[in-house]
Amino acid sequence: MPTPYAITVKIDDGVNPDGRGQAAPILVKVFELKSSGNFETADYFALQDRDRETLMTELVNADQAIMRSGEERVFKREAGLDSRAIGIIAGYRKLEAARWRIVLPLKEPKQTNLYKVWQFSPSEQAVHVAIRKTGIELLPSR
């Protein structure tokens, strides 16, 4: 049985400054993956522009949003049965100065017994991530 997940992404104030020091919007992309090998070795632009070609059969789904300083957004899905990880990238203006990629494990899908009609769906896996000036950071569970 697939596990639902909710990835909460919060953009810190002042993230991604432009040439005048003003916070600029940042592209955040969330990938649902069968495995993370290609994701972890690909460069940022391959993941941003050519995710299907780059990740091939590893990619299950992808969502993206252009977010502003101080904004918070929740990416929700029901994970595919083969999904094992979530990959997140953030399009910093200075990629070399920030941790622009993170990989998070997904819970294993729950095995169900076809005869158990009363069996409950798995609880949602909630993850909180901050986009900081220095990079993406996994926050402690609430």
Lowest-confidence range among 15-29, 81-95, 96-110? Answer: 96-110
Give yes or no for residue 87 having a pLDDT over 60.
Answer: yes
Residues 6+ apart with CB under 8 A from 123: none
pLDDT band at 2 (very low <50, low <70, confident <90, very high): confident
pLDDT band at 80 (very low <50, low <70, confident <90, very high): confident
Of residues 5, 4, 62, 10, the one with CA closest to residue 33: 62
Whole-number average pLDDT of the chain = 91
pLDDT band at 111 (very low <50, low <70, confident <90, very high): low
- CATH number, domain with residue 36: 2.60.40.4150
Residue type, 68: R
Which pLDDT tens digit goes with each residue over 112-137?
665 555 555 668 899 999 999 999 99
Here the tokens at position 97 are 């100065």
CA distance 27 to 58: 21
Q: Which helix (H) or strand (E) holds 11?
A: strand 4-11
Domain count, the chain: 1
Cβ atoms < 10 Å from Cβ of 80: 16
Here the tokens at position 82 are 């083969």
The answer to whether the beta carbons of residues 44 and 97 sit under 8 Å apart is: no
- Name the residue range of residue 42's domain: 4-138
The answer to whether the beta carbons of residues 2 and 80 sit under 8 Å apart is: yes
The single residue listed with the structure tokens 């029901």 is 78
CA distance 125 to 84: 12
